[in-house]
Amino acid sequence: MSKSAPQVVLLGKGKSDHTDEMSKLIDDIKPENIPAQFLEGVYVTTPSGKKYQIDPRLYADRGLNYKNVGDYIDTLKLNIDESPETIEVVIDLDATKKILSKSVKSLTDILEGD
């Protein structure tokens, strides 16, 4: 019996008034690689309903390749009795907005010669 690939879900989490805008932006972009500073967490759920959080240190250096996250989880050799059914990649929308706003301001300052 071959194991099926887990469903990968990209979610956004935030408290600011602009989370809907950020969520739409992420949905429009459909990112392949997500920088670690944008991630709130990565969670694996098994068919029995057990949920595990992936240690952020495992993706802190390079972020997370969203398109290949199922293969990446397999390579971690996690101490989980069952194959993952769902992998949730949760983006911190507040942190993402702050980082992107700062980057846009820096770029604008350079273009305007400040």
Structural domain containing residue 93: 7-112
Taking CA atoms, 54 is separated from 14, 24, 102, 103, in Å, by 20, 25, 28, 28
Residue 2 lies in a domain: no
pLDDT given for residue 105 in this prediction: 66
CA-derived radius of gyration, the chain: 16
* Dihedral angle, C-alpha 27, 30, 33, 38, nearest 10 °: -10
In the chain, the number of structural domains is 1
| Cβ contacts of 48 within 8 Å, gap of 6 or more | 82
Residue 108 lies in a domain: yes
**41 in a structural domain:** yes
pLDDT tens digits in sequence order for the chain, 114 residues long: 346 788 888 887 878 666 666 666 666 666 678 889 989 999 999 999 999 998 898 888 888 887 788 777 776 777 787 888 999 999 888 888 788 777 676 666 677 775
Domain assignment of residue 63, yes or no = yes
The alpha carbon of residue 51 and the mean position of all alpha carbons in its chain are separated, in whole angstroms, by: 16
Whether residue 39 is contained in a domain is answered as yes
Q: Does 1 map to a domain?
A: no
> Within a domain: residue 20?
yes
CB 72, CB 64: distance < 8 Å = yes
Q: How many residues does the chain have?
A: 114
Kindly give the pairing relationship between strand 39-45 and strand 64-65. unpaired
10: left (phi over 0), alpha (psi -120 to 50) or beta: beta
